[in-house]
Amino acid sequence: MSATGKRTRVPGRGFTLIEMLVVLAIVALVSALAFPAVDRTLDARRAVAAGEAVGRALKAARAEALRGGAAVTLDVNSLRTRSDEAAPLPADAAIALTPQRIAFHADGSAIGGTARVETGGRSFGWRIEGETGLVRRIAEPQR
């Protein structure tokens, strides 16, 4: 209050309701645009993790055959179990083996073939070389 008893407005103290609503609207707009992008990024990371888990499981099976001196055979179910031990696969992950069983022999060689994992709209492939048993990532086309 002033000396005359009238209220005076002191400039620069606080924000008006309109200013706060404008800032809130901007924050809501940025959030609405950012959250779907974050969700897509997380889905892509989960898909990459699933592909890497299958690759690790294949390599671990080869190492087990070399170490143990006996053949190790994988089918879709055993590959999924081994992959889940490394990192749980997403529920929608589909694994395909060609041929349906891949065996790693005690000398390191293998029944050659491919393993493919599809999840979250992305596909990851692994080639198992017959003579050496090496597991190599198949390059996927860019999307």
Instruction: Supply 114's token pair.
Output: 């491919």
Going by C-alpha positions, the residue among 77, 72, 47, 45 that lies closest to residue 60 is 72
Residue 54 backbone phi and psi in degrees, to 5: -65, -40
Taking only the tens place, the pLDDT of each residue in 35-75 is 888 888 888 888 888 888 889 889 999 999 999 999 999 88
Q: What is the mean pLDDT of the chain?
A: 85
| Pairing status of strand 102-104 against strand 94-98 | unpaired
**pTM of the full predicted structure?**
0.71
Give 81-136 pLDDT, tens digit per residue: 777 776 677 888 899 999 999 999 999 999 999 999 988 888 889 999 999 999 99
The DSSP code for 20 is H
